[in-house]
Structure 1
Amino acid sequence: MRIRPVAATLGALLGFSALLLPTSAAQAAESADGPVVVAHRGASTYAPENTLAAADMAAELDTAWVENDVQRTKDGRLVVLHDTDLKRTTNVEEVFPDRSPWKLADFTLAEVKELDAGSWFSPDYAGARVPTLKQFVKRLTRNDQKLLLELKAPELYPGIEAQTLAVLDEAGWLDESHIDGKLVIQSFSADSVKTVHALQPSVKTGFLGTPSVADLPEYAEFADQINPNFGGVTADYVKAVHDVRGPHDRQLELFTWTVNDGPTAARLAGYGVDGIISNSPDVVREATAGSSDSASPDSPSSDAVPELLSAAAS
């Protein structure tokens, strides 16, 4: 069993202290100046990623926006999971020892529901399960949170774009109130983002990657956001993104990932990024609150040497 004792301890302490917070805390961060802060796979420094517990922890940390990853089981059910196999974040090798390589697409939802998705992180989360997309958005609705949804490896799951939109629609997430400020669908696959835009043009979309400046107008035909890894972000690139208007005739936005330390977050906020995706949203918020008043997007040098990537791909 792989356990992160420091993160588990922090999670337990934060969970206790959150009982003292007002019920509206999940929206508090939105009132502060600075980039939007998004909890990556939930507040995944403090709770097992992509679980309901991670979404709840994000709410307890005053984080309205939650990012997740969506894939499909063998029997066609959408679940929230990052890796295309179940090995890293569940006990699948113990429960199904003869099913190597343990690809999600080879397991039914009923089989996935047998797995423990929390013990790898900490004994405190033993018994956590891989949630369905329906369960996940229901929890976000309860928490009054917003969703940055990633279609993970869509090339493995033909038709997942339409299926995801159908689940969101059934859950009430394609009404005007959600489309206008509570939902973004993103992917590393430009074709998948194009498909979402074609099927539901009103939904805000994001492309995960760093297109060349010359190619930005092409991406702006179907993506409202350009969402690169932070290591390649410069002030000049942020400005170039902002100089292009997207499919809804609004300035393109840039959300960057995955930033977990205050100094890097503050530097990126100074570049004028619109959002920062982080495993530790509390750290990023503390470092960037009020940053829009104290730094110009063009003030830091765009020649600064990017830090080494601090996290796995979104």
Structure 2
Amino acid sequence: MRSRTAAATAVALSTAAFLLVPAAVPTATATAAAAAAENRPRISGHRGAAGYAPENTLPSFDKADALGIDWVETDVQRTRDGELVLLHDRDLRRTTNVESVFPSRADRPVGDFTAAELARLDAGSWMGARFAGTRIPTLGQTLDRLDRNGQSLLLEIKQPDLHPGIEGDILDVLARKGWLDGSHVDHRLTVMSFGTNAVRTIHRKRPELKTSVLVTARPSASALRGYAAYADQVNPDYRQVSGDFVAAVHALKGAHGKPLETVPWVVNTASAAREVAGWGADGMTSDLPDMAARALG
């Protein structure tokens, strides 16, 4: 048996050796992977997860959530009686059974229908029998669902010229649903439109909100500078731009004094996702957001 002194010496040496062992250091591979994840463009589900479920419906947002997609994009319009609803097209023929329910009015714009009339339409069967009976959701219902899912929102004001004053209506619903608090405004909401007047109006009414201008073609340098005065992003059709466009966007400061961002749309192939990421884009939207995420590792 060792003496008490020898045992104490052994313990001291053992403790000293332990203290000299360096803490675990991330490997070069782990560090590179973490950096890549930090710099990877954010993937947002276009109209929810429109490649898998009827666009702009609650099942589509739920599908995006099931795929692990935290951000979704959607389109908002206004009914004749003032309800805000989610629809992309000017009329209802492509994504509902309006031709059966209202055959004489099938080609009429969304704003010619009341909320009660839209509630009668099937907005899911066109994409498969399992979606039969899916309804057009209101903006309020959508915000509740996204809160339940913990998702964030790119909210597009669709055809604002057909819905004068819709900007104020949207802000009212966002406020009523708690989406104008600091947490949502800072981290979970961007309001955007092809209508620059609508984006300016949102910025003027609620300058703390993050805003985006959508474009179908590459804007000129002077147009980019103009957008930067009231928007935080300029989001193009990815097929119309390239890496030099992304660099030109990032060279400017947006409405909140941070580098102007760009989130191209709609990226539906792995090769396109990798190409857009290679440009250094800040994000992208996709009907197949899980595919885009896998393509970026």
Under a length normalisation based on structure 1, what TM-score does the superposition of the two structures give? 0.81
Q: Give the structure 2 partner of residue 103 of structure 1.
A: 109
| Deviation digits for residues 123-171 of structure 1 (CA, Å, limit 9, x no counterpart) | 0100000000000111000000000000000000010001101101100
Amino acid at match of 2:272: T
Report Cα offsets for 1:96-121 as digits up to 9, x if no partner.
11224232111100000000000001
> Is contact 1:213-1:237 (8 Å) kept?
no
Equivalent-residue separation in structure 1 for 2:59 and 2:119 (angstroms): 16
Structure 2 residue aligned with 1:250, among 241, 249, 258?
258
Encode CA deviations 1:44-68: one digit per residue, 9 max, x unaligned. Answer: 0000000000000000010000000
Q: Which residue of 1 aligns with 2:59?
A: 53
Aligned to 1:143: 149
Does residue 230 in structure 1 map to residue 238 in structure 2? Answer: yes
What are the residue-to-residue correspondences of 1:126-275 with 2, within 5 Å?
Answer: 126-209=132-215, 210-275=218-283
Q: Is 1:287 paired with 2:291? A: no
CA–CA distance in 2 between the matches of 1:120 and 1:94?
A: 13
Q: Which runs of 4+ in 1 moved over 2 A?
A: none
Aligned-residue Cα RMSD (Å) equals: 1.2
SS of corresponding position for 2:211: strand
Report the counterpart of residue 83 of structure 2 in structure 1. Answer: 77
The one-character-per-residue Cα deviations of 1:8-43 (angstroms, maximum 9, x if unpaired) are xxxxxxxxxxxxxxxxxxxxxxx6651000100000
Q: Helix, strand or coil for the counterpart of 2:262?
A: strand
In 1, distance between residues paired with 2:132 and 2:108? Answer: 20
1:125 aligned partner: 131
Aligned length: 260
Indicate conservation of the 8 Å contact 2:91/2:106, yes or no: no
Aligned to 2:40: 34
Q: Is the 8 A contact 1:80 1:132 kept in 2?
A: yes
Contact 2:160 2:195 in 1 (8 A): yes
> Which structure: larger Rg?
2
Q: Which moved more, 1:120-129 or 1:102-111?
A: 102-111
Partners of 2:275 and 2:47 lie apart in 1 by 23
Unpaired stretches in structure 1, ≥5 consecutive residues: 1-30, 290-314
Work out the percentage of aligned pairs sharing the same amino acid. Answer: 50
The TM-score with structure 2 as length reference comes to 0.86
Match of 1:297 in 2: none
* Residues 206-245 of structure 1: CA deviation (Å, up to 9, x unaligned): 0001321232111100010000000112111101100000
Give the aligned partner of residue 17 of structure 1. Answer: none
The 3-state SS of whatever aligns with 1:257 is coil
Aligned 8 A contact 1:261 1:284 in 2: yes
